[in-house]
Structure 1
Amino acid sequence: MDTDDIDRYLDAANRSNTNRSYQGALRHFEVEWGGFLPATPDSVARYLAHYADSLAINTLQQRLAALAKWHNEQGFADPTKAPIVRKVLKGIRTLHPAQEKQARPIQLEQLRSLVDWLDSQIADVGIGPASLRYRRDKALVLLGFWRGFRGDELTRLCIEHVKAVAGEGMSCFLPFSKGDRQAHGMTFRAPALLSLCPVDAYLDWIAAAKLTDGPVFRAIDRWGNVGTEGLHINSLIPLLRSLLDDAAIPHADEYTSHSLRRGFANWATGSGWDMKTLMEYVGWRDVHSAMRYVEAADPFASVRQPNE
């Protein structure tokens, strides 16, 4: 095996999204704040203090992770492990507590309203670019909901990794995902349903778009030309919010690409799924990660009096 092959596998081991995020963090430290690399513990502590009241604690932690990675890779001592940095970060958590903002989950009734609206649009517009977009969007929201996929999993899904049979079900293979740290690949299955069926929606979309391989979900231009690249992850939130708004579903601006995943998790627990079954289906390895997507049940619901 030559050096080029080794470099190729090393590159594949690094998550492209993570690399871009870390590069942005280093650029923020050096360019926007004016720091120097290699950094000292004192400079990192001052950097944290400077942005304590303007950046979320998760963002600051991500910046520290990027700085730590750079120093370790370059053979320098990691300044983020210094006691002064840890104490400053602890102080920021104390003085700037923040409740985690979660996406509004899409409930089954809202999913049904959205799909009914998409079906009505497909029937009205006939054949053309708009019809393709509505068919794509229908497949995207139904597969995203019933499979509990994250946005990046939807954008990376490829046709050659999907096996779908109408009336039976479908399997989706992802070569790597957030829950698959060793990149062994994971297969996810989705059922065929009598209504709101992700299998039928998927088959309808790829048939209408005449797709045989490559990304499942792609951009479509004004003339109806389907792109070759998958949708960008950053396009999913505005796409979903626009659909919900057009379908007259309230609070459209409070939904994100996580809303489909959260919606499914709440539907599953409300339908009697235990946490172990839900975790295995969605692919969660950590129960704490799973609980972030599940809303706690109202313990007084059975005795609460309805408003008159």
Structure 2
Amino acid sequence: MSKIDVYLHAATRENTRRSYQAAVHHFEVEWGGFLPATADAVARYLVDHADSLAINTLRQRLAALAQWHIDQGFPDPTKAPVVRKVFRGIQALHPAREKQARPLQLEQLEQVSQWLDRAICTAADAGDRPSRLRHTRDKALLLLGFWRGFRGDELTRLRVEHVEIAPSEGMTCFLARTKGDRQYGGTSFKAPALARLCPVSAYAAWVDLAELRDGAVFRAIDRWGHVSEAGLHINSLVPLLRSVFADAGIASPLQYSGHSLRRGFANWATSNGWDVKTLMEYVGWKNVQSALRYVEGADPFARHRIAPADRLDDRGGLP
């Protein structure tokens, strides 16, 4: 790989690169399309998958095909009028409600944390180091992910040498690259030390137990208690969280994902009086639309703005 290729490779987030590669593979290998593609071929591809793929997935497939053509020096067929018109038609005939991860509420966070504390103590008493390591890691991942509102890929890319702890005050986590950091300047995130559900003490307990000095913070652990040198793969994060939630007795664990921690914190913050600007600065959102996607209203059914059900008269009117 030439130096130019190295820098070109670094200019794209790993998650984006993988998803684009999968999209091009789907178009070319699974569907049988030819590259470079014509606008008519792209339009037929959209039509063939209008019933089976979500609008956001189709949009991502178009972005991947567009990027492939640009990278290879070919005209971008996805910008052709026929492709745009077909896509708008699919949006009109196949409207889809955007799926969002269920937010983890503070009460549930406490429930999972308490279960992990008990599991850690049980494993320590039994001399079960592999289980003790896993539960200690999971507690640190859970609390840090919630109180910092981290994305899943940010948790998996966090490095020990980029975390600094100020005893009794908090911790600073530096990420060389984040989704909103278009200038690649790196971003520092601060998390406070708390009286309970503390991310700082949970993090310190994990790195001390695993004897981590550098490298990825969150890593795989095998059945013998060997801690991997590499960080957790992003695709393993959601199954890990769902497994922990299920073990802790959280209802419907399959409705949660890596975004559940981020959404849970955003809802906790707004319900405790944080304004949108403060929340955006803390989490790292660059625009209001991104923030509002994660926040649910304090009164989602407008009950308090209209009237409680038991105050309506027999005709359904306000008293």
Question: Which bracket does the TM-score occupy, shorter chain normalised?
Answer: over 0.9
1:177-225 CA distances to partner (integer Å, 9 max, x unpaired)?
A: 1011221100000000000000000000000000000000000011110
Match of residue 8 from structure 2: 10
Q: Which residue pairs with 1:70 in the alignment?
A: 68
2: CA distance, partners of 1:124 / 1:275: 42
Query: What is the DSSP-based 3-state SS (H/G/I as helix, E as strand, rest coil) of the residue aligned with 2:304?
Result: coil
Letter in 1 for 2:242: R
Post-superposition Cα deviations, 1:54-95, rounded to whole Å, max 9, x if no partner, equal 001111111111111111122211111111000000000000
Q: 1:182 to 1:238 in 2, by over 3 A?
A: same
Gaps of 5+ in 1: none
Task: Please tell me whether residue 301 in structure 1 is matched to residue 288 in structure 2.
Answer: no
Hey, what's the Cα distance between the residues in 2 that align with 1:207 and 1:305?
Answer: 53
For residue 208 of structure 1, what is the aligned residue in structure 2?
209
**Contact 1:164 1:199 survives alignment (8 Å):** yes
What is the CA distance between 1:8 and its match in structure 2?
A: 2.5
Q: CA deviation at 1:15?
A: 1.7
Residues 1-308 of structure 1 mapped to structure 2, 5 A cutoff: 4-126=2-124, 127=127, 128-298=129-299, 299-301=302-304, 303-305=307-309
Output the CA distance in 1 between the equivalents of 2:47 and 2:263. Answer: 34
Structure 1 contact 41–84 (Cα < 8 Å) conserved? yes
Give distance in 1, aligned partners of 2:279 and 2:153.
20
**CA offset at residue 305 of structure 1?**
4.9
TM-score of the superposition, structure 1-length normalised? Answer: 0.96
- Native 8 Å contact 1:166 1:200 kept in 2: no
Aligned partner letter, 1:52:
A
CA-CA distance at 1:166 after TM superposition? 3.1
SS of the aligned residue for 1:187 comes to strand
Question: Which residue in the other structure is 2:315 paired with?
Answer: none
State the Cα distance separating 1:39 from its structure 2 match: 0.8
Greater alpha carbon shift after TM alignment, 270-279 vs 288-297 = 288-297
For structure 2, the 5+ residue unaligned runs are 312-319
Q: Secondary structure at the match of 1:35?
A: coil
How far apart are 1:4 and its partner, in Å?
4.0
Counterpart residue type for residue 217 of structure 1: F
State the alpha-carbon separation in 2 of the partners of residues 137 and 254 from structure 1.
Answer: 19
Q: Partner of 1:173: helix, strand, or coil?
A: strand
Provide the identity percentage: 65
Q: After superposition, give the CA deviation of every residue in 1:15-71 in whole Å (9 maximum; x if it has no partner).
A: 222122111111111111111111111111011000000001111111111111111
Q: Take 1:8 and 1:67, find their aligned partners in 2: how far apart are those partners?
A: 22
**Which stretch shifts more, 128-137 or 291-300?**
291-300
* Closer, same or farther: CA 7–32 of 1 in aligned 2, 3 Å: closer
Amino acid at match of 1:301: H
Separation in 1, partners of 2:81, 2:216:
47
Cα shift at 1:253: 1.1
Letter in 2 for 1:175: A
**Residues 105, 260 of structure 1: 8 Å contact kept:** yes
